[in-house]
Structure 1
Amino acid sequence: MERCGEMIEAELRSSLQNYFHMTKLYEHAILCLENKLQESMLLGKMTVLHYRMFGGTDHEDIYRVAAAAEMMMLSLDIIDDIQDKDNEKMVWNQFPPEIALNIGIGLLTLPVEMILSTSFPPERKLQAARVLSQEVLIAINGQMRDLFNDIHTEEDYMIMVSQKSAALLVAASMLGTVLATGEWIEGVKLYTEELGIAAQIKNDIRDLLNWDHKNDFVNRKKTLPTLYLLQSVSDKDRWIVDYYEGRLLFEDIMQRKSEIESLIESTGTLLYTSVRMKTHYYRYLELIEQLNVEPHWKEQMLAFAE
């Protein structure tokens, strides 16, 4: 996996050059890609790892498919930020929204074309393209739940996370799996979902305490930590519920940041959500141990959860 990141980056750059012919579209998209390349490229690496783990031959085109997974993620990040109107530090949020949206649509369309342009057997290319399309549609359903903030219970939250966040990891892992085996392996979906849920809970814990950019409390987002907090406050602290239900404005609570942090601590919100996160993490570890693959592959899969 040493050259994996470099190979994926090369495919990402060449795909933009090959398909984004309009100069301004290409220039703006490259700026977005530069932001993306600062991340770990987890999805692309999951695609390559699953392809190799399940016996895929040394096929250079797997890096293009891995790049397609990363392109999908970048497109959805852009569209998600436009919808949520947050994360202003990202370069695409410096563009006019109509420009950013057009780039997001282009990047969302490109991954299927990238997969179909590879030299894998036609039936496996079609299967991989179908996997990508299906999981993106699942994620879009989850995003709609999130946009409407239509989450009232922990069960609602888990459904949303399974659809929105975990589906993208499932897509990346299953791309490599179907190209190597020609089969949908349900066990891959199960452990990948557990990893995706654990990662999302971890992100939600971070965003509850992040006062600089994406603070879920300020934005009244329903997440596992905020649901638990709302259910745990005493009668004298019901102003938190009033804020979430729109009876108070941000201006009414903006000076109470230290109170909010104290309540998060005293209600055990962080402890509870950390335990839930670890439950899914440990389930992921259990399912990986059950894989019928060589130990060195299991070690690499476990490294993704660190």
Structure 2
Amino acid sequence: MHQDIQEHMYRMVDDYVYVEDLNGLLKSFIADKGQEQSSWARITFCTHYMLGGDSPHIERFAAVTELINLTLDIIDDLQDQDQTDKPWMKAPQATTLNTVLAMIMGVVGELGQLQVNGKMLFEATQIIARSINGQHKDIINASVSVDDYLIMTQEKSGSLFRLACFMGYLSLECPDETIEQLHELADCIGLIHQIQNDMRDLVRYDVKNDLYFKKRTLPILYLLSIEDEAFKPLKDYYAGKITADSLLHDKEAFNQMIHDSGCLEYSRVVQSICLQKAEEIYAKLQAASPWKEKFREITYGDFLHA
């Protein structure tokens, strides 16, 4: 994270949190996030400049993007009870929840100071609410089909990319067609990244493995659809007939079954279709160089080079 963006986030904390220990804790969360190679602020910058923006407040808008995503990351970790090395997971849960509330108020207050109008505030809340709805579907394992998964992922993950773009164009006069293209592109990017995460998480055997939460991700939905006796233990596990320990008693054999099943290849095919659609939308997008090219490189360029 760029130092200027981090300083704006610290300043937002100072504006709204005067209790010393809570202020310090919030800043430690921001500092931890700052060590990651986060792209959210850069997406906001690229969107703004490729659409002709020159706002003197773009760094503040980008800082809001980062603060919202940090807030959602913390909530996600609290829900999943993972990432135990993170400072927000080490702090008492009640205190961490207070930091979440403080960050939400900081975001609202910052947008107010930036004189974001009611229509734009409404659109921002719609995008964030869409992500929350998708996140809830994920928590309750609502996806029982590939179509369910695709919709849920666009809501949950695509909305985060929509938000980063939105913070870049909210101060601009943009054609409805351009905004619609950015939203569709963001949904494709969200799918591309989430499918990659799902493939990675399926073949790791720690608390992050999606199997332990009985999640129905894209590769797992493929496995559950296979009519073969070898996959009966997996179906029994999802039906609650056997435990995770029984399913994974021979992790090496189970891992080999996953690799032999074709579920990862299937997921890569779906991912490549999303990449193709992203490229089609990107080609039609009317935006200025070199920012348009930087936007592509930041959001999904690595997958094109894989």
TM-score, normalised to structure 1, is 0.91
Return the letter of the residue paired with 2:100.
G
- CA spacing shift, 1:107–1:210, aligned 2, 3 Å: farther
C-alpha distance in structure 1 between counterparts of 2:43 and 2:230, whole Å? 48
Written as runs of structure 1 = structure 2, the 5 A alignment for 1:121-270 is 122=115, 124-181=116-173, 184=176, 185-232=179-226, 234-270=228-264
2:42 is matched with 45
C-alpha distance in structure 2 between counterparts of 1:8 and 1:131, whole Å? 23
Structure 1's unaligned 5+ residue stretches are none
C-alpha distance in structure 1 between counterparts of 2:113 and 2:37, whole Å? 25
Q: Deviations over 1:129-176 (max 9, x none)?
A: 323211111111111111111110001101111111111110110221
Return the letter of the residue paired with 1:85.
Q
Contact 1:12 1:67 survives alignment (8 Å): yes
Comparing 180-189 with 154-163, which one deviates more in the overlay?
A: 180-189
**Offset of residue 253 of structure 1:** 2.7
What SS does structure 2 have at the residue aligned with 1:56?
coil
C-alpha distance in structure 1 between counterparts of 2:85 and 2:227, whole Å? 33
Work out whether 1:286 is the aligned partner of 2:280.
Answer: yes
Return the letter of the residue paired with 1:205.
M
**Offset of residue 254 of structure 1:** 3.6
Work out whether 1:65 is the aligned partner of 2:61.
Answer: yes
Return the letter of the residue paired with 1:289.
A
**Offset of residue 275 of structure 1:** 1.5
**Offset of residue 211 of structure 1:** 2.0
**Offset of residue 126 of structure 1:** 3.7
**Offset of residue 233 of structure 1:** 5.9
1:113 to 109, 113, 138: 109
2:15 is matched with 18
Q: Deviations over 1:18-74 (max 9, x none)?
A: 2111112112111211221122231211111111111112x3311111111111111
Contact 2:16 2:102 survives alignment (8 Å): no
C-alpha distance in structure 2 between counterparts of 1:294 and 1:182, whole Å? 13
Comparing 294-303 with 257-266, which one deviates more in the overlay?
A: 294-303
- CA spacing shift, 1:191–1:284, aligned 2, 3 Å: same
Comparing 125-134 with 265-274, which one deviates more in the overlay?
A: 125-134
Comparing 245-254 with 91-100, which one deviates more in the overlay?
A: 245-254
Structure 2's unaligned 5+ residue stretches are none
- CA spacing shift, 1:41–1:187, aligned 2, 3 Å: same
1:96 to 92, 100, 103: 92
Contact 1:127 1:178 survives alignment (8 Å): no
C-alpha distance in structure 2 between counterparts of 1:186 and 1:17, whole Å? 36
Q: Which has the higher contact order (CA 8 A, sep 6+)?
A: 2
Contact 2:161 2:186 survives alignment (8 Å): yes
1:84 is matched with 80
Comparing 59-68 with 206-215, which one deviates more in the overlay?
A: 206-215
**Offset of residue 196 of structure 1:** 1.1
Contact 2:64 2:110 survives alignment (8 Å): yes
**Offset of residue 267 of structure 1:** 0.9
Comparing 162-171 with 85-94, which one deviates more in the overlay?
A: 85-94
TM-score, normalised to structure 2, is 0.91
What SS does structure 2 have at the residue aligned with 1:165?
helix
Q: Deviations over 1:228-275 (max 9, x none)?
A: 112126213301111122211123234221122111111111111011
- CA spacing shift, 1:166–1:89, aligned 2, 3 Å: same
